[in-house]
Amino acid sequence: MGLEGLSINLATVRQQFDLAQAVEACRRLGISAVAPWRDQVAKAGLAEAARIVRGNGMRVTDLCRGGMFPAADAQGRQAAIDDNKRAIDEAAALGADCLVLVCGGLPAGSRDIAAARAMVRDGIAAILPHARSAGMPLAIEPLHPMYTADRACVNTLEQALDLCDALGEGVGVAIDTYHCWWDPKLDAQIARAGKRILAHHICDWLVPTRHLLLDRGMMGDGVVDFRPIRRAIEAAGYTGPQAVEILSEEWWKRPGEEVLRICVERYNALCRVDGGSN
């Protein structure tokens, strides 16, 4: 079985590899899709980054990340809009399937979560014409509710889809098992999402989780049951790659080649639904 159903979010090996090293290591393992972060692209230079992914025959499942719309004043919100337009252009230059949006939390000093959510809606609305003209789909990623205050005030798939409904064509969702596995409405909302599913990230939830940001788990090391979620996502209409995205102090300590090899093993053993291991 080939690995065309697997993508590697390059944050997973960000401490071990730069963009070129990560892409080449993926290629050597038969992986044919990656999802880089903007800082990784910037470090290589956009044109060189595009050359690296194309030269290695890589699909770019998503660019991480736009978003971070709420700010304490109009100037800050406009700066976020301008930056998101640049992110759209970068995603287009890389030929990415979509730009992932981590929408942002409360502005500093604010306790007004409804206002922050309105800023997110208004921010996406402001960049959407640019995204449409660039042909770049925007993927709203609901983040786990433990990130509401400081990273993303969009926290359930239902909420993200309500936003999509309000915003119209050109906006969809990125579903990350780490952020969404707990949701009692997950199955129903995946079915509702349908063709608006633009990306599927995989990562496990560890018990115990010792750090809110950097203790995410390799598939199989935690409590997430990956295949039922994947089956629901495919049934809804998304058959693109599953992108491994693991932010972890533990995995960042291990050799990058080894981490990628284990991603492939665990993907084959626990996540794919198309093959003999299922």
Which residues in this chain contact a copy of itself in the complex, by CB under 8 A? 106, 110-113, 117, 144-146, 148-150, 153, 155-156, 159, 181-184, 205, 207-210, 212, 222-225
CB of 174 vs a copy of itself, minimal distance in Å: 18
Angle between helices 256-266 and 19-28 (to 10 degrees): 50
Strand-pair partners of 88:
none
CB of 118 vs a copy of itself, minimal distance in Å: 12
Q: What totals of helices (H) and strands (E) does the chain contain, helices first?
A: 11, 9
Strand-pair partners of 140:
101, 173
Which of 79/223 has CB closer to a copy of itself? 223
Which ranges in 107-255 belong to alpha helices (H)? 113-134, 157-167, 177-180, 186-193, 226-236, 249-252
Which of 208/276 has CB closer to a copy of itself? 208
CB of 69 vs a copy of itself, minimal distance in Å: 16
Which of 12/177 has CB closer to a copy of itself? 177
Cβ contact 151:102 at 8 Å:
yes
Which of 106/128 has CB closer to a copy of itself? 106
Which of 195/210 has CB closer to a copy of itself? 210
CB of 266 vs a copy of itself, minimal distance in Å: 14
CB of 137 vs a copy of itself, minimal distance in Å: 23
Angle between helices 186-193 and 157-167 (to 10 degrees): 20
Strand-pair partners of 104:
152
Q: What are phi and psi of 173, to 5 degrees?
A: -130, 150
